[in-house]
């Protein structure tokens, strides 16, 4: 038997629950053979797939080393943990959860420090006055170095912090921090503020592919099937299905609906009896229903879609392009 296809899925932390829900909605049923404490799992119907349950940061490292083919992890961890991320891994799809910003935050009491340029000034002043460099507490060492250097800041030193980073300034172990924030509650509770141009990265969970995994023909076929499920679900989420009987509908009206509401006619214009099926972005449904009735439709019904399988699979196409580069 050929080596298994490895799909890495967060086993704990912020991304775990959402990742499970994401695969379930795509029609991929993940199960842990040995119960909740098992760190290996399977996907129903896909025999050669092994699920590796890992922490989000471990997933980034495994993808970098080619030990998983596909994985779910945060963009922040991809950029922090993978040198040369753009060539080692491909971000195949943003997943719409796990939103978090990596930010530079300083004590609110520093009223004159609002921007990275201000920070540059105070770090230099601090070094001259105290004969030591300002300390930045963070676990995002690589992101911090790159961002500070892009702002020409050199008079600082990193103090590695693996937890409760926001507490470092009050505890006196650092002057400022670089950390992740979603609601801002933890920063506020610790009397810290984000610099105006201090957002290093806006991150969310991504489906990530590894270049160095063993991409055998079987592995590619497995990826195609997994990505087909995910693409069908993603496409279904973007639209609602609108049905009406509407004999007078012609190409001009359809293209007006397309221009005004982003409507697609996946099965072409009306049938001989006038039945018409459209896909419409959720936000434009009422406008479309009004438009159709104004032009002669009597009744317009709307339903949610579970999957829309297209011949084209944009996610697999992205993977293939990346592996060819
Ligand atoms: N409010 C948030 N705080 C921290 N991370 C978040 C938040 N929202 C989303 N995330 C995402 O979740 C990722 C993993 O976060 P989390 O700290 O929950 O994982 P973990 O299981 O503790 O991993 P590790 O043990 O490697 O730290 C983050 O890197 C980020 O991409
Ligand atoms: O902006 P907020 O919404 O307040 O969220 C930010 C906080 O959440 C994360 O910690 P988490 O709770 O994941 O704990 P951890 O540090 O143990 O991972 C992160 O490290 C911040 O401390
Ligand atoms: Mg954590």
What spacing in Å lies between the alpha carbon of 14 and ligand 1's midpoint?
5
State the pLDDT confidence band at 325, using cuts at 50, 70 and 90: confident
> What is the pLDDT at residue 248?
83
User: β-strands 5-10, 30-32: how paired?
Assistant: unpaired
Nearest ligand 2 atom, CA 189: 4
What spacing in Å lies between the alpha carbon of 181 and ligand 2's midpoint?
7
Is the same domain home to 252 and 159? no
Is the same domain home to 248 and 285? yes
Is the same domain home to 104 and 157? yes
Residues with a CB atom less than 6 Å from ligand 2: 14, 163, 166, 179-186
The residue nearest atom 19 of ligand 1, judged by CA position, is 13
> What is the pLDDT at residue 39?
82
Which bound ligand lies closest to the C-alpha atom of 140? Answer: 1
Contacts of 21 (CB under 8 A, 6+ apart): none
Is the same domain home to 31 and 66? yes
Return d(Cα 319, Cα 222) in angstroms, integer. 12
> What is the pLDDT at residue 225?
97
Is the same domain home to 24 and 167? no
The preferred substitution site among 10, 12, 15 for testing ligand 1, maximizing ligand atoms within 8 Å of CB, is: 15
Is the same domain home to 160 and 24? no
> What is the pLDDT at residue 286?
97
What spacing in Å lies between the alpha carbon of 192 and ligand 1's midpoint?
20
Q: What percent of the chain has pLDDT over 90?
A: 89
> What is the pLDDT at residue 86?
94
Torsion of CA 58, 64, 66, 71, to 10 degrees: 60
Q: What is the mean pLDDT of the chain?
A: 95
Q: Nearest 5°: phi and psi at 165? A: -60, -35
Is the same domain home to 21 and 90? yes
> What is the pLDDT at residue 36?
67
pLDDT tens figures, 221-242: 999 999 999 999 999 999 999 9
The CATH number of the domain holding residue 142 is 3.40.190.10
State the pLDDT confidence band at 162, using cuts at 50, 70 and 90: confident
Least confident of 32-36, 47-51, 148-152, 181-185: 32-36
Instruction: Measure Cα distances from 319 to 7, 64, 80, 214, 313 in Å.
Output: 15, 15, 22, 14, 10
> What is the pLDDT at residue 246?
85
> What is the pLDDT at residue 1?
57
What spacing in Å lies between the alpha carbon of 164 and ligand 2's midpoint?
8
Count of structural domains, the chain: 3
The pLDDT of 191-204, averaged and rounded, is: 98
Return d(Cα 226, Cα 43) in angstroms, integer. 10
Is 6 in contact with 52 (CB distance < 8 Å)? yes
Is the same domain home to 224 and 134? no
> What is the pLDDT at residue 99?
97
What spacing in Å lies between the alpha carbon of 95 and ligand 1's midpoint?
15
Residues with a CB atom less than 6 Å from ligand 1: 12-15, 55-57, 74, 76-77, 98, 100, 180, 182, 203
Is the same domain home to 57 and 80? yes
pLDDT tens figures, 246-299: 888 888 999 999 999 999 999 998 888 889 999 999 999 999 999 999 999 999
The residue nearest atom 15 of ligand 2, judged by CA position, is 163
Is the same domain home to 256 and 130? no
Is the same domain home to 131 and 191? yes
Q: Which domain holds residue 228?
A: 5-97+204-235+313-324
Is the same domain home to 56 and 89? yes
What spacing in Å lies between the alpha carbon of 11 and ligand 2's midpoint?
17
According to DSSP, the residues that pair with 116 across neighbouring strands are none
pLDDT tens figures, 10-49: 998 889 999 999 999 999 999 887 776 678 899 999 989 9
């Amino acid at each position: 038997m050929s080596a298994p296809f490895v799909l890495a899925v967060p086993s704990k932390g912020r991304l775990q629950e959402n990742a499970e829900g994401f695969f379930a909605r795509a029609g991929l049923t993940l199960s842990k053979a040995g119960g909740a404490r098992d760190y290996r799992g399977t996907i129903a119907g896909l025999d050669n797939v092994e699920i590796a349950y890992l922490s989000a940061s471990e997933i980034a490292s495994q993808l970098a080393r080619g030990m998983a083919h596909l994985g779910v992890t945060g963009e922040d961890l991809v950029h922090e943990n993978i040198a040369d991320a753009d060539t080692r891994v491909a971000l195949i799809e943003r997943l719409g959860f796990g939103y978090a910003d990596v930010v530079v935050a300083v004590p609110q009491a520093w009223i004159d420090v609002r921007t990275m340029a201000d920070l540059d000034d105070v770090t230099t002043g601090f070094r001259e006055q105290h004969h030591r460099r300002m300390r930045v507490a963070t676990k995002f060492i690589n992101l911090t170095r790159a961002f500070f250097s892009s702002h020409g800041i050199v008079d600082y030193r990193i103090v590695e912090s693996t937890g409760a980073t926001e507490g470092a300034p009050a505890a006196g172990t650092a002057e400022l921090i670089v950390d992740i924030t979603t609601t801002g509650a933890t920063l506020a509770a610790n009397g810290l503020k984000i610099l105006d141009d201090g957002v290093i990265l806006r991150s969310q969970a991504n489906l990530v592919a590894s270049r160095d995994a063993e991409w055998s023909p079987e592995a590619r076929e497995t990826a195609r099937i997994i990505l087909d499920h995910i693409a069908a679900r993603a496409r279904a989420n973007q639209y609602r299905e609108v049905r009406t009987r509407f004999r007078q509908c012609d190409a001009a009206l359809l293209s007006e609906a397309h221009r005004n509401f982003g409507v697609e006619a996946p099965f072409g214009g009306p049938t001989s009896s006038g039945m018409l099926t459209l896909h419409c972005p959720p936000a434009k449904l009422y406008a479309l229903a009004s438009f159709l009735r104004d032009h002669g439709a009597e009744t317009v019904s709307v339903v949610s879609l579970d999957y829309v399988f297209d011949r084209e699979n944009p996610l697999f196409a992205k993977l293939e392009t990346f592996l060819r580069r």
